[in-house]
Chains A and B, each alone.
Chain A
Amino acid sequence: MNSNKNTLKVFAYSYLIFLYAPVLLLPIFAFNDSTIISFPLNSFTFKWFAGLTQETYLQESLKNSLFVAISTSILSTCLGILASRASARYEFFGKKSILSFLILPLFLPEIIIGVALLVVLMQLGLPLSLWTVILGHTLVCTPFSIAILNSAFANMDMSLEEASLDLGETRFGTFKRVILPMVSPGLISSLLIGFTISLDEFIIAFFLTGTETTLPVYIWGQLRFPAKLPGVMALGFLMLLLSLILLLLVEFFRRRMNRTTDGQADVQFGNLFKT
């Protein structure tokens, strides 16, 4: 029994090394004073990070990505709120089919979505821009939003809603004052997931950007140029750090929000990891 556990342990740690292998290279080569990404290493340097500040095209792509990611997360969360609320609270004709259809993008490869949207836009003669990317990303992120928010809405105690109505509040007022606060952890999860997916999404952006690129598209362009690679390493490392900080913030908020949402924060943030 113990030997089983030990082999499993060895496996687990080895697997963990496998998972971290590429990622560990990021800081190594980001601080390495050499334009060639291979061993042996040279001296330690910050120059690649400094160099990032000179890359105007990078900064523009970053700005574009942030714009797209924020817009996507907001739009997909809004659509997700509407769909989840309808799904959790009401019964109506065609409900199952409509919901399955809304979740469909989860099961389609992004290239097909990207190509399909491209074709439609070309047929309609619409120009490609950041807005077309936002549309594509929203399509892909909304199913995640629905998945997260659906359980948040479903777990909400309906008598809270009824109490609000009973006290004279309108439906919309009830939504604003009672329902939204109660599902706020789910809302934040949804915004974060949408933001994260959009920020890193390459294929759809690749097909649907016009002249303004997003960060992943920019990186893709840089990968052909060996000289640019250490800078890309530095960028990647910074993005990793930011993600970690964001994640810690989420954890902090989750603990705080548990009380005010009657224990729902744990459940709603938990869905963040299940997706």
Chain B
Amino acid sequence: MDRVKNWFSSDSSRGLTLIGLPFGFSLLLLAAPMLLIFFLGFWTQDYLVLDRSFSLDNYIEAWTEPMYRDLMLRSLGISAAVTLATVMLAYPMAYFISFHGGNRKALWLFLVTIPFWTSYLLRVFLWKVILGYNGVLNSALDWLGVIEEPLTFILYNANAVIITLTHAWAPFAILPIYVALEKIDRSYLEAARDLGDGPLKSFLRITLPLSMTGVVGAALIIFIPTIGDYVTPKLVGGKDGLMIANMIQVQFMKANNAPLGASLAVSAMGIVSMISLVFLALNRRWLRKRGS
């Protein structure tokens, strides 16, 4: 009896009691739905009737039907392109703020985040305004005399999606990379210079590897959710820029084929997780090889 009483006032029981509520909440609202989605992929739906017998039909369709395959590949391609573009543009910016920001680092960071205090929907819409046939970019280029005909390859396709998302994810890349860069002890760089490395070399050999955690973090923050983006492809993607999330929504709503939608969703998540794990493993190896 004493042991029971002891346990109740022990750290362990107190910790579990506290975390019980949030954990229970998550179990109900996250675990249960996720499991349901997972199983849903193995059922079939005919109009409004749900058939719960086990079937691989939906997964087979999701993976073999060209339309879905192409859509999945395109979504992965767009996510990869967005991740690459965002990180590559964000890195020099983060570097600039960290190494050349002086006393105004906080101000720069503040300035970088302000544009993103507007509604995401509006920002996507405004890109549509910018990239459109009669949009801001074309009007400006025409007025400057740079072009005669409005550019059409920049809207209602994958390019527009990539441009828009590269903008939208910018601060999510700048901040982690900035934090990682800030952590680098500047005396390492001074030591490298002292030992004869030029600015480019000391960057490649010291700064870049040491900031990799920030880069990897940024890449994952961007890559994983971008697969599931719905708004941007819908508003600026036209026909050729639609992504898997749009199809998932269609299956759940108009097409009344929730199981197919579920199989698409689970497949997408599976592929993304797999890619992320491979990416992390490769990165760890690369860092180890460089001896950092």
Say if the beta carbon of A139 comes within 8 Å of chain B. yes
Say if the beta carbon of B68 comes within 8 Å of chain A. no
Say if the beta carbon of A252 comes within 8 Å of chain B. no
- Cα separation A115 to B21 with both chains bound (whole Å): 24
Q: Are A39 and B269 touching (Cβ within 8 A)?
A: no
Say if the beta carbon of B121 comes within 8 Å of chain A. yes
Partner of B96, one of A9, A101, A110: A9
Taking CB atoms, residues of chain A closer than 8 Å to B119 are: 200, 215-216, 219, 236, 239
Shortest C-beta distance, A275 to chain B (Å), equals: 9
Q: What is the total of A-B residue contacts with beta carbons within 8 Å?
A: 221
Shortest C-beta distance, A48 to chain B (Å), equals: 14
Say if the beta carbon of B135 comes within 8 Å of chain A. yes
Q: Are B100 and A9 touching (Cβ within 8 A)?
A: yes
Taking CB atoms, residues of chain A closer than 8 Å to B120 are: 200, 202, 216
Within 8 A of B (CB), among A1-59: 1, 4-5, 8-9, 11-12, 15-16, 18-23, 25-26, 29, 37-40
Given known pairs A101-B26, A139-B30, the reply for A22 and B93 (CB within 8 Å) is: no
Q: Are B225 and A85 touching (Cβ within 8 A)?
A: no
Taking CB atoms, residues of chain A closer than 8 Å to B89 are: 15
Q: Are A105 and B117 touching (Cβ within 8 A)?
A: no
Q: Are B235 and A244 touching (Cβ within 8 A)?
A: no
Partner of A108, one of B40, B235, B258, B269: B269
Partner of A219, one of B121, B134, B230, B262: B121
B101-122 to A contact mask, C-beta < 8 Å, 1/0: 0000000010111110111111
Say if the beta carbon of A227 comes within 8 Å of chain B. no
Taking CB atoms, residues of chain A closer than 8 Å to B25 are: 79, 138-139, 142
Binds A, one of B12-20, B59-67, B278-286: B12-20
B5-38 to A contact mask, C-beta < 8 Å, 1/0: 0000001111110110111011001111110110
Binds A, one of B123-131, B152-160, B183-191, B205-213: B123-131
Given known pairs A85-B18, A110-B228, A274-B179, the reply for A8 and B95 (CB within 8 Å) is: yes
Given known pairs A15-B93, A23-B114, A26-B122, the reply for A112 and B139 (CB within 8 Å) is: no
Interface residues of A (CB under 8 A from B): 1, 4-5, 8-9, 11-12, 15-16, 18-23, 25-26, 29, 37-40, 79-80, 82-83, 85-87, 89-93, 95, 98, 101-102, 104-105, 107-113, 115-120, 123, 135-136, 138-139, 142, 146, 200, 202-203, 215-216, 219-220, 223, 232-233, 236, 239-240, 243-244, 247, 273-274
Interface residues of B (CB under 8 A from A): 11-16, 18-19, 21-23, 25-26, 29-34, 36-37, 40, 89, 92-93, 95-97, 100, 109, 111-115, 117-123, 125-127, 129-130, 132, 134-136, 139-140, 143, 167, 170, 175, 179, 199, 224-225, 227-231, 235, 245, 248-249, 252, 258, 261-262, 265, 269
